[in-house]
Amino acid sequence: MSLVKLANVGAHLQNCAMAKLPLTKIPYTKLHLQIALGLYKEGFVSSVKRGSITGPDLTPVEVTPDNISSRRLWLGMKYRENKPVLSKFQLISKPNRRVFCTSSDLRNFAAGQRFRFVKPLQPGEVIFVRTREKEVIDLHEAVKKQLDGELLCRIQ
């Protein structure tokens, strides 16, 4: 959807990690939900909960046009030995310069090669790719399924 909002989310999560906050809220959008679930699957985040401005919902609340403006996604941050698990969250494809890859490009990138100006994959780094079906998946998943996609963000 909006990469501007995703960039803000990235900056916010980095700030929260530095401030050692246990829970943070991000805007509730389809892209944010996909990214949040991706983070949860990779183990960067301990919990993903829907909620309101004040806090996560204890009982499930249906999202309607009446309450959509107050809906947020609450993420549980993880820390170990005084260090945050999610320390870096940077966009690759930016609003002023989008980055698209073919399946063969993605394969080489996953193997550790540099892709044009995009720095090579680091050990323990996770890269989210948005496919043509607007599905956000991990880089290695995309390579397995031989899909093309937009390199959204890199997380360490």
| Two tokens, residue 56 | 């996560």
Q: How far is the CB of 21 from another protein (least distance, A)?
A: 17
Q: How far is the CB of 156 from another protein (least distance, A)?
A: 9
Between 80 and 133, name the residue whose CB sits nearer to another protein.
80
Between 11 and 125, name the residue whose CB sits nearer to another protein.
125
Please report, as ranges, the residues that interact with another protein according to CB under 8 A: 42-44, 78, 80, 83, 85, 119, 122-125
- The full length of the chain comes to 156
Between 38 and 51, name the residue whose CB sits nearer to another protein.
38
Task: Look up tokens 């050692």; give the residue.
Answer: 20
Q: How far is the CB of 126 from another protein (least distance, A)?
A: 9
